A = this chain, B = another copy of it.
């Protein structure tokens, strides 16, 4: 397993994908996300993914040249959406607002796409065989940039001195935990993020813990107007 790139049938005429290709690739990726997140790379079978996608194994292999190719395409497909929230952390905004918004977005993603979270976790836990290069370049750059933002907030006295990288790891850990360990959470509380009330209470608790932990007032004092 090496590399991480898209995949197209060997021969093609139009610049883009045909209507059928578009639909089938999408069906496959959706089915693959389900299988890979549920069973891991080794545990998932091409046949099962094909069945979930409503086609024969042979046909699936017409669209993706190998199991590894499906896996990589699935990873690439979720990676962007997964890392987007951090990019929106705005240096010019209020630290409390910005961090609260980031936490909220991450919990939102965990609630909406728990399978994506588990797939990502699985990949990293196995040593990130496919996405290590991305982590070491793109993600590293992004994290360094945002650490600098937090550092500036600290230096201007807008929040308590906290190691920015640990703050980011803590936010990742807590928010993703609710998706990755949802089975355990359901076993212990009877609920998980699919319950809107539980999502709300999670958001409240996590945001409150982390923001207060970072020396920020939360919840913000009620808005100015009387």
Contacts and interface: CB of A to CB of B under 8 A. Distances in A.
Interface in A101-155: 118, 121-122, 124-128, 132, 135-136, 139-140, 143
A183 B201 CA distance: 31
- Where chain A touches its partner, the secondary structure class is helix
A27 interface: no
Contacts of A201: 163, 166
Interface stretch (A56-64, A66-74, A210-218): A210-218
Contact of A42 (B39, B135, B208): B39
Given A125-B122, A187-B128, A169 B177 contact: yes
B212 A125 contact: no
Contacts of A174: 169-170, 173-174
A41 to B, nearest CB: 7
Nearest to A119: B125
A178 B206 CA distance: 18
B208 A210 contact: no
Interface in A26-56: 38-43
A125 B180 contact: yes
A188 interface: yes
B162 A209 contact: yes
A76 interface: no
A87 interface: no
Contacts of A165: 188-189
